[in-house]
Structure 1
Amino acid sequence: MTNYLIKNGTIVTEGKSFVGDLLIENGYIKKIGHNLQVDSTIQTIDASGKLVLPGMIDDQVHFREPGLTHKGDIQSESRAAVAGGITSFIEQPNTVPNAVTQDILEEKYKRAAEVSFANYSFMMGGTNDNLEEVLKTNPRNVAGIKLFLGSSTGNMLVDNQEVLEKIFSSTSLLIAVHAEDEGTIRKNLAEHKEKYGEDIPVQCHPVIRSEEACYLSSSKAIELAKKTGARLHVFHLSTAKETELFRNDIPLKDKKITAEVCVHHLWFTDKDYAVKGNFIKWNPAVKSEVDREGLWKALLDDRIDVIATDHAPHTLEEKSKSYLNAPSGGPLVQHALVALLESVKQGRITIEKLVEKFAHNPAILFQVEKRGFLKEGYHADVVIVDSESEWTVDKSNILYKCGWSPFEGTAFSSKITHTFVNGFLAYADGVVNTEHKGQRLLFER
């Protein structure tokens, strides 16, 4: 195994940035310091003028395997992830079949061990009738339980209040929820069909999947978590109103109720539907500029704890259909970090805060073992960024299996130059090293 000395980079970790060296030996961070001296067997990378960051941990992706691999698969999407500086991911259970039994869940882990270039974990899915399977979930090597409180693939809508309360009461595992009220959405959709027939404009998406639908579901989930003492994590907040439900007066490690925001809700607004159309159709919907600003405010004042992608690819053909027939979701893992680095350049967020929300906090929140920080003794998941290297997203440099990106045509001013996964150089200068695979994430529980 090749060992590396990363020299003279701006190391960003635990709220600090400083110029220094980082030594990688046998897959781990051996030493962080200044003017480190090593023998000639260790390969040196000069990171002068570049950022040295911990690998990002994306706590919500949909890599589409099994059953939906025409859209993406673990191999293709993990390749895009490491090219984007994401070294670990937590994948969701709404594949085909849904990961709602321990056997199906373990099949996904076996597949990832064979093909994933990034480190991986998979969530166990809850349904109205699989509590017994849910309770078998091993907290040491499974990230948590995922519940859809709005419509999803297959049998994954959990709309039975008695079942919900039982799940919340019966497990100490983190419960992550997609919170949109199905009744509200159906009512809004029926009204729009009455008005527009089958030709509903995509601009109506945030009206159909409304603020009310999000707030009603999020607030109910939080109320239930408080009642039962469950450990609740609310995925992809999309409204300013929802942010009022969360606290920032206690440390993250002590929070029982936490929240996530996704890159697309921090970047796009409803004004972008006119140009982007279904290519920014997500659930929950991209909403108003007021909502976007509210999400940024809550992220910066720590009511929102983590940033994720909700990476969810669909084919170009699928996304090109009419609003009612086009699926929701889009690919993001390759471009999430560089998009957020634009916000650093604009002064909206500091690099230290970005690293906190996209690397440190997912590790703290999920209790990931020895990842998410640049620390001696931690796994060497490391990203080097040239923050003065402009490039434009186009089809020639997109690595997603679906072959498109909502950021096509966007010029970014930062480029990922190197990504290390467990000390292996997984990506360098535009090329993914397919020789080595990631590891199953473990959790300190």
Structure 2
Amino acid sequence: MKTLLITNARVVNEGRQYDADLYVRNGRIYTIGADLQSRPADQAIDARGHLLLPGMIDDQVHFREPGLTHKAEIATESRAAVAGGITSFLEMPNTQPPTLSLEALEAKYQRAAQVSPANFGFYLGASNDNLDAIRRLPVGAACGVKVFMGASTGNMLVDDPKVLASIFAEAPVLIATHCEDTPLIRANEQAYREQYGETVPMEMHPLIRSEEACWRSSSLAVELARQHNTRLHVLHLTTARELGLFEPGSHRDKRITVEACVHHLYFDAHDYAEKGSLIKCNPAIKQPEDRAALLAAVTEGRIDVIATDHAPHLLSEKDAPYFAAPAGLPLVQHALPSLFEHVRVGALTLETLVEKTSHAVADCFNIQGRGYIREGYWADLVLIDPNSPHAINRAEVLSKCGWSPFEGRTFSARVLATLVNGDLIWQNGALNPQATAGMRLEFGATR
């Protein structure tokens, strides 16, 4: 029976901070209390002076497997994730081929079970012609159905109104949506192409992927969800205007929830001058006032979840003119440290950070036994030193693409250790070379 003892931790969990020891047995938190130092354990960690949080559950990542493994793989990206304190991830279906069938979905689970040190779940994708697969999806087989209501790759843009309505009415699990209006985006692209040719400045990206394009799509998603009483989760909100579609308050009381992403909370349109295509993503990083509104909405409870939308591309792919440079950036390894910068300046509390990155994600997707520091729950934990300033540099990046949009920035917090199912996967800047502790996440009903 494998055991681990954590002593002298400053625990941040369920809206409060307190000092405690934790005793882990067979991968689960067995006891939380004081003065557990005398308990025998196979491993011991003295957490004095450090914060102990439930591991981040990232509800939106693109790990590129199958089909795009020249830029990322489940193995490489999940290792970058645990280095960043992410203990579980929910992965998107826009791979090659896309995850549009139950068979393709199961193949991803089998692959992750072989190579991922983090726990894993996968979305089934929606298209104009796979409604039967969505209807047949068993509860628990996927974390949700991903609907691209805006531009996407391959056969994953759902633009048939009848199919869209049927998905909202009949999907047996949570629906997660990417919301941008494709016709408006295409019209904007054409207008800027006429002005600049193929060398459109990157600063135009938030005007092409505009506030209006986001609003048209997200308001339609909310309208459909209300019409069909759908359990809807809107991904990566970017504008102050869209916040009016969502209610403040506890996520536990909502049928419609919404996510913000770390890069939309950290960067704004001023950063295109320095970062250019490195921060090109869909939906676009927008104006400073949008960023400020998103941060305020996190505190208000209008935004329920914080995620990454980790979407790596090679630097050689990013180093291209506007229309050729792909959208997306690698984020999992530095997501939590970037969020601690908001804590450092008083824009977020530690309790809110934990709520949005762990508790709310587990609740929204009804993930069993995770997302909280509770006796009987799986020991998915992250130990943070909040006072360890360090500059982000390319040499430390574990994502296969080999770069980070945060390079050159200094973060005050550092991930010291990450435990997944009670196994010490990351400690003091190094991965456990034997780390394959990840488990398939268990999902209860959300619809």
* Smaller-chain TM-score bracket: over 0.9
Alpha-carbon distance in structure 2 between the residues aligned to 1:159 and 1:433: 45
Once the 2 structures are TM-superposed, how far is the Cα of residue 141 of structure 1 from its aligned partner? 3.4
What amino acid is aligned across from residue 413 of structure 2 in structure 1?
S
What amino acid is aligned across from residue 437 of structure 1 in structure 2?
A
- Between 134-143 and 101-110, the greater mean CA deviation after superposition: 134-143
Once the 2 structures are TM-superposed, how far is the Cα of residue 2 of structure 1 from its aligned partner? 3.8
CA contact (8 A) 2:5 2:41 kept: no
CA shift digits 1:205-247 (9 cap, x unpaired): 0000000000110001100110111111100000000011001
Report the counterpart of residue 369 of structure 2 in structure 1: 370
CA shift digits 1:357-411 (9 cap, x unpaired): 0000000000000100000000000100111112111111111100000001111
What amino acid is aligned across from residue 125 of structure 1 in structure 2?
G
Report the counterpart of residue 65 of structure 2 in structure 1: 65
TM-score, length basis structure 2: 0.98
Report the counterpart of residue 345 of structure 1 in structure 2: 344
What's the secondary structure of 1:384's corresponding residue?
Answer: strand
Report the counterpart of residue 192 of structure 1 in structure 2: 192
Once the 2 structures are TM-superposed, how far is the Cα of residue 180 of structure 1 from its aligned partner? 0.1
Report the counterpart of residue 325 of structure 2 in structure 1: 326
Q: Which runs of 5+ in 1 are unaligned?
A: none
CA contact (8 A) 1:117 1:434 kept: no
Report the counterpart of residue 10 of structure 1 in structure 2: 10
Alpha-carbon distance in structure 2 between the residues aligned to 1:122 and 1:365: 15
What's the secondary structure of 2:53's corresponding residue?
Answer: strand
CA shift digits 1:330-375 (9 cap, x unpaired): 0000000001011111111010100000000000000000100000
Report the counterpart of residue 109 of structure 1 in structure 2: 109
Alpha-carbon distance in structure 1 between the residues aligned to 2:80 and 2:131: 34
Alpha-carbon distance in structure 2 between the residues aligned to 1:120 and 1:12: 24
TM-score, length basis structure 1: 0.98
Indicate yes or no: 2:400 matched with 1:406: no
CA shift digits 1:267-290 (9 cap, x unpaired): 000000001000000100000001
Report the counterpart of residue 427 of structure 2 in structure 1: 428
Once the 2 structures are TM-superposed, how far is the Cα of residue 36 of structure 1 from its aligned partner? 1.4
1:23-34, aligned counterparts within 5 Å? 23-34=23-34
CA shift digits 1:18-69 (9 cap, x unpaired): 1111111110001111111444344221101100000000000000000001
Alpha-carbon distance in structure 1 between the residues aligned to 2:173 and 2:253: 15
CA shift digits 1:286-343 (9 cap, x unpaired): 0000100111111110111000000000001001111110000000000000010111
Alpha-carbon distance in structure 2 between the residues aligned to 1:221 and 1:41: 51
Identity, in percent, stands at 52
Alpha-carbon distance in structure 2 between the residues aligned to 1:190 and 1:358: 38
Alpha-carbon distance in structure 2 between the residues aligned to 1:183 and 1:130: 23
Alpha-carbon distance in structure 2 between the residues aligned to 1:195 and 1:39: 71
Alpha-carbon distance in structure 2 between the residues aligned to 1:42 and 1:115: 25
What amino acid is aligned across from residue 411 of structure 1 in structure 2?
T
- Between 70-79 and 385-394, the greater mean CA deviation after superposition: 385-394
Report the counterpart of residue 222 of structure 1 in structure 2: 222
1:28-427, aligned counterparts within 5 Å? 28-249=28-249, 251-427=250-426
Once the 2 structures are TM-superposed, how far is the Cα of residue 430 of structure 1 from its aligned partner? 1.1
CA contact (8 A) 2:421 2:437 kept: no
Alpha-carbon distance in structure 2 between the residues aligned to 1:25 and 1:418: 18
CA 41–298 in structure 1, closer or farther in 2 if over 3 Å, else same: closer
What's the secondary structure of 1:11's corresponding residue?
Answer: strand
What amino acid is aligned across from residue 345 of structure 2 in structure 1?
Q
Once the 2 structures are TM-superposed, how far is the Cα of residue 253 of structure 1 from its aligned partner? 2.2
CA contact (8 A) 2:134 2:172 kept: no
What's the secondary structure of 1:439's corresponding residue?
Answer: coil
Q: Which runs of 5+ in 2 are unaligned?
A: none
What amino acid is aligned across from residue 154 of structure 2 in structure 1?
G
What amino acid is aligned across from residue 364 of structure 1 in structure 2?
D
CA contact (8 A) 2:138 2:172 kept: no
What's the secondary structure of 2:223's corresponding residue?
Answer: helix
CA contact (8 A) 1:2 1:424 kept: no
Alpha-carbon distance in structure 1 between the residues aligned to 2:253 and 2:303: 14
User: CA RMSD, aligned part only?
Assistant: 1.0
CA contact (8 A) 1:76 1:399 kept: yes
CA contact (8 A) 2:60 2:89 kept: yes
What's the secondary structure of 1:18's corresponding residue?
Answer: strand
Alpha-carbon distance in structure 2 between the residues aligned to 1:28 and 1:38: 19
Alpha-carbon distance in structure 2 between the residues aligned to 1:358 and 1:408: 23
What amino acid is aligned across from residue 215 of structure 1 in structure 2?
W
Alpha-carbon distance in structure 1 between the residues aligned to 2:318 and 2:213: 24
Alpha-carbon distance in structure 2 between the residues aligned to 1:406 and 1:212: 26
